[in-house]
Amino acid sequence: MKTYIVGNWKMNFTVGESSLYFHKLLQRVKSYRDIEVVVAPSLVALQPLSLQVDRHKIKLAAQNAYFQDFGAYTGEVSVSQIRSLVDYCIIGHSERRHILGETNKDVRKKVAAAVRNGITPIICIGETAEERKNGETTDVIRDQLLSSLSEIAAEDLSKVIIAYEPVWAISTTKSAKMATPDDIKEVLDLIHKLLTKTYGEKTVADTPVLYGGSVKVSNAEAYLSIPGCDGLLIGGASLIAPEFSDIIEIAKQVRA
């Protein structure tokens, strides 16, 4: 299985800045057969970046999309409209869940739309600090994980990526706390256990599980060395070309 290094640019960079930064990344990033590098710029930058992209080095992802393929949905952009631009789509990011009110129902419909349109969904799941404090981590992870997959067939499980993204460990969260490898391993084990129990070991063998939450050059190796961690979903560090490219090189070293 490949190691995935995914950079989420969130609502940063203008279209021009995105193009210049992407050009820098393409110069720095090397092509590795066993490392899949993905970046998710803002929606307005996707089309121009799709003309610059070298898919041997970097693939593009959307940060979000609507689940209906077409219709009277003012202001929305469907998965089917972006399928010629991207290979991946981030779905259910904690900021969409907790700031923009996205529900488990919304997430599962978007996951089904992505798979239907041949785009790999990167499904984000994770508990808040309060949920963790109250011992609700297992329930939250189970509900978010299994709900997000409930509208796709078991044979399509290999077409999705799961990203564990504890809300309490995201750097933009107030009083964020750094997740330890033991913290992460506990939940990654839970995710693998839930998937195996529901779909069977053979079915889930090709389903990558990533970690995302305050990933930096300084902790990337420790996170990538966790058994069952197939890559990283990176926020702030993906906006700094030397840091992002260094994390890719770390991933290559860990994989070697």
Structure tokens at 19: 């193009």
DSSP symbol at 127: -
- pLDDT tens digits for 201-240? 988 999 999 999 999 999 999 999 999 999 999 999 999 9
Q: Which of 36, 93, 95, 127 is catalytic?
A: 93
**93 annotated active-site:** yes
Strand, helix or coil at 214? coil
Q: Using the predicted structure, report yes or no on whether residue 176 has a pLDDT greater than 70.
A: no
Number of domain units in the chain: 1
Q: Judge whether 215 and 237 are in contact, CB under 8 Å.
A: yes
**165 annotated active-site:** yes
- pLDDT tens digits for 101-142? 999 999 999 999 999 999 999 999 999 999 999 999 999 999
Structural domain for 200, as ranges: 3-255
Q: Which of 95, 127, 165, 243 is catalytic?
A: 165
**Closest by Cα among 97, 92, 91 to 62:** 91
Q: Judge whether 37 and 250 are in contact, CB under 8 Å.
A: no
Orientation of helix 15-28 relative to helix 43-52, angle to 10°: 40
- pLDDT tens digits for 184-194? 999 999 999 99
What is 140-193 written as a DSSP string? HHHHHHHHHTTTS-GGGGGG-EEEE--GGG-TTSTT--PPPHHHHHHHHHHHHH
Between β-strands 161-164 and 209-212, what pairing exists: parallel, antiparallel or unpaired? parallel
For residue 240, what are the contacts with CB-CB under 8 A and spacing of at least 6?
Answer: none
DSSP symbol at 30: P
* Cα–Cα distance, 177 to 167 (Å, whole number): 10
Report CA Rg, the chain: 17
* Cα–Cα distance, 59 to 6 (Å, whole number): 9
- CATH assignment at residue 119: 3.20.20.70
